[in-house]
Structure 1
């Protein structure tokens, strides 16, 4: 599914770049594939943490005035531990601000040296070690914070690790 799009738009896909997708719909998705199949396709091209979907959809499970529930979008968002908002909100200002902050607040930090000793990686936010809420992505040589653990604007992020050296 993404194969065809990538062939047709060869220059569009940038290796190592994060893809942010914002789904906006007043009805459920009626695509022929399942959410799991689409997620598997995204995961083929984007390392863990590099595909970040958001949705503005009809409320799950009941929908809302003028919109059907966006079950499949909701399931995709849950698969990636991301966020969704109601399409029926009258003021989208806070929704847009939340999306912008989630994108702008860096959730990914590239390490300075390749081939770190993975078991030595330690992550600190404002001097406090984070035991969880992040993971190492080998393909991009980066630390990626889970959405609910992304440091706030102005926080200090420090990452320490040992590197493999030639003997």
Structure 2
């Protein structure tokens, strides 16, 4: 190892020279050194360890091609069938009878009541109703004023008296 130039610098102090002899340094095998090494080994262990559980405890979840709620939904859809357009007058009668009970309906409720396709029902509702865009009854439909004929309190009493 002769004829080699070594450069070494730390904290602004530098050493330059040639290696003539090889030296090995070993710490003294004292109790304090062993204590430090034990702490170093313990700190190097991973914080989280994996543990194998008994097979009786774990439940195995196997993938399911079609879940129960999907099967129920498909059965319901098949039993109801597709929404078919009814005659316009029949749909109007259903809507007017619904609006006699309540003044405001969400569009989803109107679809459920009439069992009509969304585009067809929306077309009819644009002619006979208005959609409230703001206020307390936001996103609900009500009849236009020319189609409203709500019963007064006196008419209700007369009907109940019969």
TM range (shorter): under 0.3
In our comparison, the structure showing a higher alpha carbon Rg is: 2
> Larger helix proportion, structure 1 or 2?
2
**Structure with more contact order per residue of length (Cα contacts < 8 Å, sep ≥ 6):** 1
> Larger strand proportion, structure 1 or 2?
1
TM-score, scaled relative to structure 1: 0.21
